[in-house]
Amino acid sequence: MTTLVFGHSGQLATELRKQGDVVALNHEQADLSDPSHCVDIIKEINPGVVINAAAYTGVDAAEHDEELATLVNGHAPTEMAEISAALNIPFLHISTDYVFDGAPGAPWKPDDTTQPLGAYGRSKLLGELGVRKAGGQYAILRTSWVFSAHGNNFVKTMLRLSQTNNTLKVVADQIGGPTPAGDIAAALLTISSAMTAGNNCSGTYHYAGSPVTNWADFAREIFAQSRKNIDVIDISANQYPTPAKRPENSVMDCSKLLRDFGIEQPDWKTGLARVLKDLENV
């Protein structure tokens, strides 16, 4: 069985290539700004499973380039899901906590009301709606605060800044669950194997690391594990303005994924230790 992955060098696609026997397509091979070409690829390969691990991920850039973000994050996965449904191929798609408004309160459940704060969230929500309407077997996996030894992410940013700063100001009033990309890849491969083996579950799921933390405490753990003496100063999100507003509450209820596929939340501190070890070997 062929597992076709859209994406190649991003955090998640890199981990999928490391962990699974997959056909992973880079941007030149499959440009999501051309959805019809992605459809043709699925028709030609006719894989056992399709995993969309590619996306327009520039949260701030999307505020000025919403048309492209909408094409890549909204229209492309919709058309990919439609052809997958027509060919009876399970379709797995990565989404985000940014589809919610981040209001304080309980952890977000998959069926909670969505209300994106910005262009990136709107584009991802459009993709979700299209995948659901396609009518095939699917899993939309919403995740948050993804990190790995690859690409751009908070862990690598903190380590880079620590090379030239002894003190760093980090936002402390946004909470969530950091999620290792390697664990997301493993979850996707577990879901795809279950689906091809006859598990008929389909729907929207949440997958994020545990325990809940904030960005400042996440940074402290990064420096503690990497044995760096960096003073982290808590600040509010208002003191660190960005073009796109970030959710205040990104905590997600992951119980549905455990119920349907037996997948437990990953311990992000353990995942962080693995990532730091990988970075030492780079």
pLDDT tens digit string along 237-274? 999 889 999 999 999 999 999 999 999 999 999 999 99
Determine, yes or no, domain membership for 243. Answer: no
Q: Is the pLDDT of residue 281 over 80?
A: no
| Span 72-110, pLDDT tens digits | 999 999 999 999 999 999 999 999 999 999 999 999 999
Q: Are 123 and 72 in contact (CB under 8 A)?
A: yes
Confidence of residue 20 (pLDDT cuts 50, 70, 90): confident
Here the CATH number for the domain that contains residue 122 is 3.40.50.720
Determine, yes or no, domain membership for 43. Answer: yes
Q: Which two tokens stand for residue 176?
A: 């969530």
Q: Range of 113's domain? A: 3-152+179-209+250-266
Coil, strand or helix at 134: coil
Coil, strand or helix at 169: strand
Determine, yes or no, domain membership for 133. Answer: yes
Determine, yes or no, domain membership for 102. Answer: yes
3-state secondary structure 191-226: HHHHHHCCCCCCEEEECCCECCEEHHHHHHHHHHHC
Determine, yes or no, domain membership for 244. Answer: no
For the whole model, what pTM was predicted?
A: 0.96
Determine, yes or no, domain membership for 158. Answer: no
* Total number of domains constituting the chain: 1
For the four alpha carbons of 8, 222, 102 and 58, in that order, the dihedral sign comes to negative
Per the residue annotation, which of 98, 120, 138, 205 is the catalytic one?
120
Residue 280: the pLDDT is: 87
Alpha-carbon span 196 to 54, nearest angstrom: 22
Determine, yes or no, domain membership for 274. Answer: no
Query: Among 128, 218, 184, which Cα is nearest to 11's?
Result: 184
Alpha-carbon span 166 to 230, nearest angstrom: 5
The angle at the Cα of 172, spanning 170 to 173, to the nearest 5 degrees, equals: 140
Determine, yes or no, domain membership for 183. Answer: yes
The average confidence (pLDDT) of the chain is 96
Is 120 among the catalytic positions? yes
Percent of the chain past pLDDT 90, that is, above it, reads 96
Alpha-carbon span 206 to 208, nearest angstrom: 7
Which is it for strands 49-52 and 203-206: parallel, antiparallel or unpaired? unpaired
